[in-house]
Amino acid sequence: MVLETDVSNSEKAPTTTKEVLTYYTTRHSYQTKSRRLRLAAVKIVTCLCLASWVYRFALPDHSVTLFFRAKYSGALLDDRDDPASEFADDDFPLRAHEPWDISVDFPYPRTLSYEVTEGTWLRLDVHPVSGDIVFDMAGDVYCLPGDAYLGVAGGVGGRTEAVPVLTGVPHDADPRFSPSGDRLAFKSDAGLGADNLWVMPWAADGCTAMDVRAHVSSSYELELKIHDEEQLARGIQETNEKKLRRLTMEGRVNAQRITNETYNWVSDPRWHPSGDKIVATKWYYSRRSLGAGEGWEFPVPAVHAQSQVEAGAGKRLVSKSLPMGWTKADYVEQQVGHEQFIWAGDDALIYAGNVRDIDGSYTYSKDVHQGIYAIFQRNLTTGVEKTLVDAFPGGASRPILSRDARTLAFVRRVRDKEALVLKDLNTGTLHHIWHGLTYDLSTIYAPMGTYPSFAFTPSSSSPGIIIWAAGQIWQVPLARNAEGELVAASRATDDTDLMPKVIPFTAQISKKLAETRRTKTDVRKFESGPQRVRAFTQLALDESGEHAAFSGAGQTWVQALGDSLVDPITLDPIDDANFLGTSKPARRIPHLHPSAGYYSPSFVPASSFILHARWDNTHFSFLELADLESGKVWEVVGLPKGRWFGAVVSDSAGNGVRTAVLVKTGGDVLTGNVVATAQTGVWVGDITLPSHSCSDGTVELTELRYIQSSIDPSDVVKLSFVDGKSSEILVQQSDSVLRVSLRDGTEEVVARGKGTDELVFSPSRSMPSMTSRLAGHNQATGGAAFVSLFHVYYASPSSVDSGKAMWAKPGKAPKNLARLSGDGGHDVVFSSDGSVIGWFLGPYLHTLQLSRLSSCTGTIEADTSNFGIDCVRGLLDVTAVDVAYTPDVQRLSNEAYRPIVDGPQRSIAAESNADVVIIHNATVLSMENGVLTQDLRLGASVVIRSGVVEAVGGPNVGEGLMGAFEIDAEGGYVVPGFIDSHAHWAGTEDKYPATSWEMQAFLAYGVTTLHNPSLHNSLGYVERGRIESGLIAGPRLFHTGAVIYGASDYSIHQDIASMREAREALIRIKAEGGDASWSYKNYNLPTRAARQRLLTAARQVGMLCVPEGGMNYDWDLTYIIDGMTTIEHNIPVSVLYDDILTLYTMSGTGSTPTHIVDYGGMFGEQYLWATEDIPNDPKLRTHTRHDTLEGISESTSRPFNSMALWNVSASVANMVHRGLRAHIGAHGEPPLGLMYHQEMFYAKAGGLSNYEVIRAATADAAITFGLFDSLGSISGGKLADLVIFPPGFDLLQDNIRHTRYIRYVVRGGRIWDAETMEEVWPIKRKQVLPPFNAE
């Protein structure tokens, strides 16, 4: 039964000025090193959550409050007790940033000016003498005179003008007055773009004297300002004179930076009573891009003092706490810290902290009513900490101390309201002052604060609080009761005039905007011609490195190296001009089953044979032995049913019998965990090669036996024999190499990597014997290669030590480490004689004769930052691998022609229309114009020829086309295929070319185009190749590659500290996808300079930017201002007001809000799980793994006021009606396909019409992504991606949830029955899925 909800009737918070709910939620986006790490993390978190639940509810006589207090209490008497005492904090950034100024090194050619009378998330302070209010809004700082609430308001209509005091490109926030009011502290990303603290003098005359517009008071000054800005926009370097003028006009000419962070960042400055130092929150990443806070003290120099601040300078006052069982070595991985520090006297601090995530891992969708944050006080002299306000109920955060230090103010959730609460620190009494606040953000990681900072007024005779709520600045009058406690003035006096009041203001916002990143991709054009395979994997080299074998698009290939050499110095990996007309294409490895998927090729030493594997969706893995000389192929028999990978064969023994070693893996995403999952790991057997004169037949694998080992079969696995001998093998994984004896299974770790994705050793003379190693001789006699931070490196024998993990951090890398890759690389291997190293970047196979490397020794030793790449690059051989497949539109035509050409009724007319489809009697919603009245056609026909829409018109269109395939829509709606703008899935990194139930599920629910903003650089395009070549069915697949990640993950972190790094980061993505690669994703990169460098490089290579929102409100605004194409996920403040609504809408940046994993409260996915019988849905059970469905069988009931998504939906709808383009993205949440339609329901809930929702799902996404010339509407000349609904469903008026009920889905003219996913044209067939379900 479907529960229908009328959001408009839900209860509202009383102080909201808009007809929307004030609810919230959050989600950490898709990011990880590999699937095995994701699964491990899920298991750990699940176990810890269960343990926490048992403690909370199942164990008797325990107080959760006492438990939390015990966790945070105790004295830190010296460094030995400090959890952070062993934390060096010297790994990141990897390299110092090259000089960059965000204001002048990136162009802002547009100016957006507008007036507002309301604002979003205004952090404010009140001057201790004058009562003037300073607040930040849209990245600028404004001043509102104290007369706005202390006297008679000026201006029009009783509104007081807020004057700008800090403007310009830098994003400024968190303003805070010094105790005497003579200086202002604030957070700013001025300069490099890292959030640092600044202080500047504050004039005694207050707002009027600080108004920056005074510096542009004449027409001459205005002309100078405009001229200077135009020159900067054109890239003309700023002179010192112009810089001084710009800083003066921005109000920051006398500002001093007092912190120097280039990776971590700081927020929430709070002055010490002495006025000579500040405490603030310093945020640290773990492997996840969620900052965890510490309390740091920073000295404040005298006004106008000239001093250099050292990087990372400051004093740690409050460390993160370590969960039970953690050691100090684990400190960096603590994802939860403390924040919102304020001084309580000379040597004490008050601060807030998340006390629900007690295991070191941040979790989402927490229960705000149980309370998440508590407030603590610590004496810095004794180290003693105590709880001031417990988390239960409703939490407690954003502590503010009254000016006499007696009263603590904070915010907390109370039922469906947000309360301003006062606690008298003398009596301990709590007073709820006002329930009119906007909901706090304690449910998410909130570096902008769980609530905007507020302040007490300076007057002791007329006390009050100035605070932001519901888009306005409010005055909350207070009074003292008989006990001397501050309480609500209206209650103490029974005077209703003393109720909280809005302080009306008006402000003029003027923002410099970059051009929004746009590009166009002609999908039809590049999908119509021969499709070049660009992404390859599973590379193998022969003995001397003269030939290579590899897989791509689900097939295996062999390439003679040197046939298509490209100059490594001038190589541009995204320029297909490198594929010369004289190049020799790679050869398909001989095989037995043309339509099957093949993978994992390896050369058989001292022979012309190659061993590779064939995949069958029912019976799993088979081995085939192919003779490259004769083309003969033998089936290898004797292999039990299972998933087999990585088979290698040894050199010939005296009796002709060779040893074969291979790996059996367990269940995975695409094939499930039901069949053949036992005894995973290394297996060994015997094989005898056939003579070349033997006819095709079989070769037997005998004496197959299991070798017990500690390898992880789900990880990267590369096998090679040690020195070609059959007694020992190297098992090479992502971050370790094992030497395993095939006689008795003895194993040892011979190399380790730190955050490496691949680690390989020379198989020839690679290391001393086990005996010598046991004697303590660890140094290898052969070199190692590894992939670290997306590049390929080589460590010489003298630098390899099994006791030390290798990585590529400058200053911490192995001695004389050499970087081999120019723009990046993957699938690194040695030739079996150890003389050659090879790797791929896109279709370019790079090889290096190690003997050449000595010529760059001097450069390698001297270049401690880039490890000699500028010299090494010239030593490489680069082969352009030329592999192509027939595009689907051509295959479709061939398949459509074949029955007619071979049939008895063959005719010229029938042949000419064999690849034509006519859909008639349809209600066509073309989405061509973006206007309902122009897009809707009743009784229409659609003609498709060769997968392309030929005509859309009335009932007579298509008449007389003999031989065409016809569909009677019976009045049903026909719309463009849906575009999932933010999709994720998990099967890409599976080792086998299995048919993907994930892709089938997406198609079954009408999704014909996928855009994944986080996928493996190369393997994502390997999967795309399997779809486009016809090996499996699926939507069009586009993706960003791996996220360009700011957090402290040793595998995927990228600094982007230079333009060189920025270009390399984009090139290594686009090289794998070519024209199909048109987007990238920066994911919480902490410096704006890095983000601007990427945008600059993106303009050069033609890519869009779809950044991760990441719950950082301030960074989101800079994404918009700097011209990023979209914001992925919602802005974490769910109710937006005119300052941000206008900025977002007018900027040109699009929105993909993903309500399914909405920031600020309960996930939208949970509502679907709770209200529908997902596990028993027949269609889902046909196309989806049952264990996934059963995993979401049970969902906890939660109130609607725990869901921020309704407010997010309303904010997005408001912007859509102003002109914003919104998109539908379901985040890959289970169940795939169906969740997309739930996301459409959430988009509708905020006020969009059904038509606007469909436009977001089709045309708007295509326009934003630059695909509208080929996709997104039903128009002549566009690819025929369509969804055909059954008759009787009124798409424009009926329940939007019913869009899930689809009759046919059409992708490039190919038609499937959406219920069964049986292909109905041009061939009746149904692809076979692996047996991933037990029933």
CA dihedral 668, 660, 606, 542 (to 10 degrees): 20
How confident is the model over 417-449, as pLDDT tens digits?
999 999 999 999 999 999 999 999 999 999 999
What is the pLDDT at residue 905?
A: 65
Tens digit of each residue's pLDDT (9 = 90 or more) over 328-377: 999 999 999 999 999 999 999 999 999 999 999 999 999 999 999 999 99
Is the per-residue pLDDT at 55 higher than 50? no
Tokens of 274: 């002495």
| Closest residue by Cα to residue 601 from 592, 609, 610 | 610
Name the 3-class secondary structure at 444.
coil
**Residue 637 pLDDT more than 60?**
yes
The tokens for 488 are 């609500």
Instruction: Kindly report the average pLDDT of the chain as a whole number.
Output: 91
Q: Does 37 score more than 70 pLDDT?
A: no
The share of the chain scoring above pLDDT 70, in percent, equals 91
The answer to whether 686 and 703 have CB atoms below 8 angstroms apart is yes
- Distances from the Cα of 977 to the Cαs of 55, 190, 974, 1010, 1203, in angstroms? 49, 44, 9, 11, 30
pTM for this structure? 0.93
State residue 583's pLDDT score: 65
- 1313 sits in which H/E element: strand 1310-1313
- Does the pLDDT of residue 452 top 50, yes or no? yes
Secondary structure of residue 560 in the 3-state scheme: strand
Query: In this predicted structure, what is the pLDDT of residue 950?
Result: 97
Does the pLDDT at position 1267 exceed 60? Answer: yes
Residue 1031 has pLDDT above 90, yes or no: yes
Are 337 and 320 a contacting pair, CB within 8 Å? yes
- Going by their DSSP bridges, the two strands 826-830 and 818-819 should be labelled as unpaired
61 has pLDDT over 80: no
The 397-401 sheet, strands edge to edge: 397-401, 407-414, 417-424, 430-434
Token digits of residue 1307:
């992708």
The total of other beta-carbon atoms located within 10 Å of residue 702's CB is 12
Among 623, 615, 677, 621, residue whose Cα is nearest residue 649: 623
The pLDDT-based confidence of 78 (bands split at 50, 70, 90) is low
Cα distance between residue 200 and residue 279, in whole Å: 16
- Pick the range with the lowest mean pLDDT from 457-466, 516-525, 1177-1186: 457-466
Which neighbouring-strand residues pair with 732?
Answer: 718, 737
The least confident of 300-314, 620-634, 967-981, 1247-1261 is 300-314
Tell whether the model's pLDDT for residue 19 goes beyond 80. no
* Residues 200, 203, 204: CA angle, nearest 5 degrees: 140
The string of DSSP letters for 755-791 reads S-SEEEE-SSS-S--HHHHHTT--B-SS-EEEEETTE
Label residue 62 by pLDDT band (50, 70, 90): very low
Structure confidence by residue, pLDDT tens digits, 465-483 = 999 999 999 999 999 999 9
Stretch among 769-783, 830-844, 1017-1031, 1223-1237 having the lowest mean pLDDT? 769-783
Percent of the chain residues topping a pLDDT of 90: 82
Q: What is the pLDDT of residue 1196?
A: 75
Mean pLDDT computed over 566-592: 85
CA distances from 452 to 82, 123, 418, 442, 448 (A): 30, 4, 13, 12, 8
pLDDT of residue 677: 97
pLDDT given at position 815 = 93
Residue 502 has pLDDT above 90, yes or no: yes
Q: Tell me the residue type at 1266.
A: G
Query: C-alpha angle with apex 1067: 1065 to 1071, nearest 5 degrees?
Result: 130
What would the two tokens of residue 302 be?
Answer: 């005298």
Question: What average pLDDT does range 114-142 have in this prediction?
Answer: 98
Could you tell me the pLDDT band of residue 150, with boundaries at 50, 70 and 90? Answer: confident
Give the pLDDT band (50/70/90) at residue 79: low
Residues 10-38 have a mean pLDDT of 33
Which of 44-48, 274-278, 1162-1166, 1329-1333 shows the lowest per-residue confidence on average (mean pLDDT)?
A: 44-48
Q: What is the pLDDT of residue 80?
A: 58
Mean pLDDT of the 805-815 span: 94
Residue 1126, pLDDT > 50, answer yes
pLDDT at 15: 31
Please tell me the predicted confidence (pLDDT) of residue 42.
Answer: 36
Residue 580 is predicted with a pLDDT of 62
DSSP labels, 13-57: -TT-SSSS-------PPS--S-HHHHHHHHHHHHHHHHHHHIIII
DSSP readout, 1217-1251?
HHT--B----TTPSSTTHHHHHHHHHHHHTT--HH
Cα 667 to Cα 1024: distance, rounded to the nearest angstrom: 22
Q: What is the pLDDT of residue 765?
A: 54
Residue 68 has pLDDT above 50, yes or no: no
pLDDT classification of 723: cutoffs 50, 70, 90: confident
Task: Specify the pLDDT at position 585.
Answer: 87
Give the residue, 642 or 63, on which the prediction is more confident. Answer: 642
Q: How confident is the model at residue 1202 (pLDDT cuts 50, 70, 90)?
A: confident
> 582: pLDDT confidence band, cut at 50, 70 and 90?
low
Q: Indicate if the pLDDT at residue 281 is higher than 90.
A: yes
Residue 1192 pLDDT greater than 80, yes or no: yes
Tell whether the torsion through CA atoms of 1187, 1189, 1190 and 1195 is positive or negative: positive
What are the start-end ranges of the E strands in 542-665? Answer: 547-552, 555-560, 565-566, 587-588, 597-603, 609-616, 620-627, 633-637, 643-649, 657-665
Residue carrying the six token digits 């005039």: 497
Q: What is the pLDDT of residue 581?
A: 60
What pLDDT score was predicted for residue 174? Answer: 98
| DSSP secondary structure letter of residue 395 | -
What are the tokens at 1141? 């609504």
The confidence score (pLDDT) of residue 1084 equals 95
What is the pLDDT, as a whole number, of residue 757? 97
Per-residue pLDDT band for 1135 (boundaries 50, 70, 90) equals: very high
